[in-house]
């Protein structure tokens, strides 16, 4: 089957959304040390906690996970509970407000995230193996710029107006 390349700027830009959908579906690409579907879902929660730790943006609660993922608090609670029962997260009392419970990565959670990062790098290298070095680096740079712009937009919008 021959793939038709977009011919106009509009066709190219219209193809971006479906391409992102395909990226999500292919994220379990069988490369070295594959990630299970269950662990892939867990990394969504673990990434929020890990990023907050790295950026020192404050304590992460179940409510913060729900807000960040754009899901109902009950869904976030189930996701967090799964990560805790899997041994990837631990609950702790907030150092700022002892009535609040915050989330921290366990050593197992850190190892899963390190393994996931290696998996993502391996998948990227596999998918782009026939690209030039320049193409690979430019795509990586533009992808990071896109994600940074998306994060900036999300932080500028009031919670009720944030895209989900």
pLDDT in tens, 130-146: 999 999 999 999 999 99
pLDDT in tens, 48-96: 999 998 888 778 999 999 998 989 999 999 999 999 999 999 999 888 8
Identify whether the C-beta of residue 39 lies closer than 8 Å to the C-beta of residue 112.
yes
Q: Which residues pair with 100 in a beta bridge?
A: none
Identify whether the C-beta of residue 72 lies closer than 8 Å to the C-beta of residue 66.
yes
Q: What is the pTM of this model?
A: 0.77
Q: Which residues pair with 91 in a beta bridge?
A: 103
Reply yes or no on whether the pLDDT at 115 is more than 60.
Answer: yes
Q: CA quadruple 86, 111, 57, 38: dihedral positive or negative? A: negative
Percentage, residues of the chain above pLDDT 70: 82
Q: In b/e form, how buried is each residue of 88-126, taking b as 16+ CB within 10 angstroms?
A: bbeeeeeeeeeeeebbebbeebeebbeebeebeeebbee
Q: CA quadruple 53, 57, 58, 59: dihedral positive or negative? A: negative
Tell me the two tokens of residue 107.
Answer: 């050593």
Nearest CA to 112 among 25, 52, 47, 24? 47
Reply yes or no on whether the pLDDT at 24 is more than 80.
Answer: no
Q: What is the pLDDT of residue 12?
A: 82
Q: Output Rg (C-alpha) for the chain, integer angstroms.
A: 18
């Amino acid at each position: 089957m021959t793939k038709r390349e977009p011919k106009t700027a509009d066709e190219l830009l219209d193809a971006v959304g479906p391409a992102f959908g395909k990226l999500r579906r292919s994220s379990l690409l069988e490369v070295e040390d594959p990630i299970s579907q269950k662990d892939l879902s867990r990394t969504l929660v673990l990434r929020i906690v890990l990023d907050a730790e790295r950026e020192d943006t404050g304590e992460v609660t179940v409510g913060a996970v729900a807000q960040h993922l754009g899901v109902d608090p009950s869904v976030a609670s189930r996701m967090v509970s799964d990560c805790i029962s899997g041994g990837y997260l631990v609950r702790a009392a907030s150092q700022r407000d002892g009535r609040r419970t915050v989330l921290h990565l366990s050593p197992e959670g850190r190892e899963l995230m390190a393994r996931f990062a290696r998996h993502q790098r391996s998948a990227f290298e596999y998918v782009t193996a026939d690209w030039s070095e320049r193409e690979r680096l430019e795509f990586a740079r533009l992808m990071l710029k896109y994600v940074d712009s998306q994060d900036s937009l999300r932080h500028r919008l009031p919670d009720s107006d944030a895209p989900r």
